[in-house]
Amino acid sequence: MNVTRRDFFGLAAAAGVASAGCGRVARRLAGGQQPDAPLPQGDVRPIARFLNRVAFGAAPGDPARVASIGISAYVDDALMAKESEDPALQVRLASLDVLNLDALELSDLKEEAVVRQLQQAALLRAVYGRNQLHERMVDLWTNHFNIYSRKHYGAYYMAVDQLKVVRAHALGKFPDLVRASAHSPAMLNYLDNQVNRKGVPNENYARELMELHTLGVHGGYTQHDVREVARCLTGWTIETRFLHPKGRFRFDPGLHDNASPKRVLGTTIPTVKDPAAEVEWNGQRIPAGQLAGERVLDILANHPATAHFVASKLCRYFLGGEKREWVDRVASIYRQTGGEIRSMLRPILASQELLDSPPIAKRPFDFVASGMRALGAETDAGPAVLQHLDQMGQGLYEWPMPDGYPDKVSAWTGSMLARWNFAFEVATIGLRGTQVDWAAYGGGVDPSDRAIERFLASKRLPNRGLYKRLNEHVQGMEPERALRETAALCLASPEFQWR
């Protein structure tokens, strides 16, 4: 280290104050606090805020890149990028069986191992994925179409679901996403549609399809619609026959309820002559009985309530709220483009609203991924890290309910101790499978500024108290220890829990 400790913090504090801006300070002080459940107020640095929303926080080099090309160009790049799994990431993922074997081959592995590998893959992608926006959308849709991996050995179908449903359509068209999900063995298994058959309909999937995946609970459907949708989807199951490719989608005409026409949201879906006879549909040949379910998916995907519901979801995820003007604007893009996710995202991501909107609490997965990125850590995302996620309450694919991990700050306030323990372990004690190159911070002119900029990219300004405390804390410490403890305290601080 070629700077003194005094320089280290003195410069950082000065930089913080200088960029705060008097107008912002005044607004902040005049604003006061809401009496109930106040959210932290005040300004954040625009680039830090942007990267916390569009990416899993800032990794080394990111802020400089955004600064040089600008937010708008960054958004365009992210929206146009085709392949999110760059070669470097593929090397990291190469050893994971869950990404290389199909469900049947995976059955040699224990469920526990499959779930762990799935979690590992997700974390590696979030930390190292080059197209961070894509990983953000994977996080959003994985929760939107939540599947509990422990139900009925669902873990074995999950890798395919992630690949063919969530990742394949993350930035594509929402109707394609819903349709892929409806055909996904993981979903058929999780929400029991594989046992939905004529005479004994199982409404589980039909209900969640409308309530959680498309229309939303106030989307205007009735119990009658639930029943009719369930009837339309009878026979949508998972292949189990001898000498057939097991574990794939199958329409079983023998299980399909073709007894009478169904009526879904005001549309009549007629019976067919022979549910097993193949018909042409969207360039494919499918059994005629399967058409009823496909028509339901058309009806739902084209319903205005779905446009509104999906728009709300996107606004809440990226803007931290559901301002009516924004939801209406995004919903109208859904309707105009037939649910193009890219088109809906573009105005949101490049907006001033994103930079000015209220803060959003990081879920544990977000916290860990952004912590790793802030440190520029080299991690295997293995058991030692995943255990921390378990303790915070977000071991991935472990949420039993179909609604996905909650996004409310109130749901996660119990995870503070576990967050602190992660911060201290990764930065000071050492975490198995994870290394941080502390020496890399020492080479430049001003390591402290870079360190704080990186660790606390979400820093609210002004927060001179933080600098004061950190300054006091490292008095008399040798440089690497000062750096490690600064990093630990930054990650554990209230500021780092928000995005």
Partner 1 sequence: MNKRFDERWTCEGDWTPAVSRRALLGGGALAAVWWAARGTALADLSLGDQPDPTGDLLVVVFLRGGADGMNMVAPVGADAYHRARPTLALARATDRTAPKADRVLDLDGFFGLNPAMGPLLPLYREGRLGFVHACGSGDHTRSHFEAMAAMERGNENIRGGIASGWLARHLDARPQKGASPLRAVAFSSVMPDSLRGATSAMALESLADFRLRLPEGPENRGGRLRQTLTRLYQDQLRDPIVDAGVETFKLLETLNRLDPAHYKPESGAAYPDSELGRGLRQVAFLAKARVGLEVAFLDRGGWDTHVAQGSSTGYMALGLTDVSDSLAAFAKDLGPALDRTTVVVMTEFGRRLQENSGLGTDHGRGSVMTVLGGGTQGGRVHAKWPGLEPHELDEVGDLRVTTDYRDVLAEILDKRVRSTNLAAVFPGHTPKALGVVQ
SS3 295: helix
CA dihedral 402, 403, 407, 412 (to 10 degrees): -50
Q: Determine, following the binding rule CB under 8 A, whether residue 420 of this chain makes contact with partner 1.
A: yes
Interaction of residue 155 with partner 1, rule CB under 8 A: no
SS3 per residue for 334-368: HHHHCCEHHHHHHHHHCCHHHHHCCCCECCHHHHH
| 3 state SS of 434 | strand
Taking the complex as a whole, the smallest distance from the CB of residue 445 to partner 1 amounts, in Å, to 26
Distance between CA atoms of residues 77 and 349, nearest Å: 12
Nearest approach, Cβ of 208 to partner 1 (angstroms)?
A: 10
x-marked contacts with partner 1 along 466-495 as a string, rule CB under 8 A: x--xx-xx-----------x--xx--xxx-
Is residue 31 within the footprint of partner 1 (CB under 8 A)?
A: no
Pairing between strand 434-435 and 378-379? antiparallel
Is the Cβ–Cβ distance between 357 and 499 less than 8 Å? no
Among 421, 433, 446, 450, binds partner 1 (CB under 8 A): 421
Pick the closer one to partner 1 by CB: 247 or 395: 395
Count residues near partner 1 (CB under 8 A): 64
Among 85, 102, 111, 398, the residue binding partner 1 under the rule CB under 8 A is 398
Question: CA triplet 59, 60, 65: central angle to 5 degrees?
Answer: 90
- Whole-Å CA distances, 250 to 158, 198, 210, 300, 335: 17, 16, 22, 21, 31
Is 414 among the residues that bind partner 1 (CB under 8 A)?
A: yes
Q: Is 216 in the site for partner 1 (CB under 8 A)?
A: yes
Query: 271 or 391: whose CB is closer to partner 1?
Result: 391
CA-derived radius of gyration, the chain: 25
Should residue 111 be labelled a site residue for partner 1 when binding is judged by CB under 8 A?
A: no
From the list 125, 308, 313, 459, which residue makes contact with partner 1 (rule: CB under 8 A)? 313
Site map (CB under 8 A) of partner 1, residues 61-100, x = contact: ----------------------------------------
Which of 86, 112, 356, 403 forms a contact with partner 1 (CB under 8 A)?
403
Closest of 273, 299, 330 to residue 182, by C-alpha: 299
Q: Which is nearer to partner 1, 84 or 214 (CB)?
A: 214
Among 217, 259, 439, 440, binds partner 1 (CB under 8 A): 217
Look at residues 421, 179, 218, 173 and name the one whose alpha carbon lies nearest to residue 308.
218
Structure token digits, residue 371: 């912590």
The verdict on 497 binding partner 1 (CB under 8 A) reads yes
Contact 171, 341 (CB under 8 A): yes
Check if the beta carbon of residue 93 is closer than 8 Å to that of residue 84. no
Nearer to partner 1, 48 or 272 (CB): 48
Please state the closest distance from residue 410 (CB atom) to partner 1, in A. 3
Q: Which residues 6+ apart lie within 8 Å of 485 measured at CB?
A: 427, 428, 473, 474, 477
Site for partner 1, residues 372 to 391, rule: CB under 8 A = 390-391
Secondary structure percentages of the chain, helix, strand, coil, to 5: 60, 5, 35
Q: What 3-state DSSP class applies to 103?
A: helix
Q: Is 438 in the site for partner 1 (CB under 8 A)?
A: no
Residue type, 310: V
Q: Which of the stretches 18-26, 39-47, 48-56, 100-108 binds partner 1 when contact is defined by CB under 8 A?
A: 39-47
Instruction: Please report whether residue 413 would count as binding partner 1 according to CB under 8 A.
Output: yes
* Residue 152 is a binding residue for partner 1 (CB under 8 A): yes
Which DSSP symbol is given to 498? B
Q: How far is CA 319 from CA 53, 148, 264, in A?
A: 8, 27, 34
Residue 335 binds partner 1, judged by CB under 8 A: no
Nearest to 249 by CA among 259, 235, 270, 267: 235
316 versus 342: smaller Cβ distance to partner 1: 316
State which residue, 288 or 392, has the beta carbon closest to partner 1. Answer: 392
Residue 200, interface with partner 1 (CB under 8 A)?
no
Element counts in the chain: helices (H) and strands (E) = 27, 10
236 beta partners: 251
Does 436 interact with partner 1 (rule: CB under 8 A)? no
In whole angstroms, what is the distance from residue 499 CA to residue 496 CA? 7
In whole angstroms, the minimum distance from the beta carbon of 281 to partner 1 comes to 30
Give CA–CA dist 373/60, Å, rounded.
7
Binding of partner 1 at residue 401 (CB under 8 A)? Answer: yes
Among 417, 439, 440, 445, binds partner 1 (CB under 8 A): 417
**Among residues 429, 439, 440, 445, the one that binds partner 1 under rule CB under 8 A:** 429
Quick one: which segment of 30-38, 54-62, 93-101, 160-168 binds partner 1 (CB under 8 A)?
30-38
Give the residue with the Cβ less far from partner 1, 392 or 451: 392
Question: Residue 120 or residue 189: which is nearer to partner 1 going by CB?
Answer: 189
Q: Measured from the CB of residue 156, what is the shortest distance to partner 1 in angstroms?
A: 15
Chain contacts with partner 1 (rule: CB under 8 A): 33, 36-41, 150-152, 211-212, 216-218, 309, 312-313, 316, 361, 390-395, 398-401, 403, 406-418, 420-421, 424-425, 428-429, 465-466, 469-470, 472-473, 485, 488-489, 492-494, 497-498
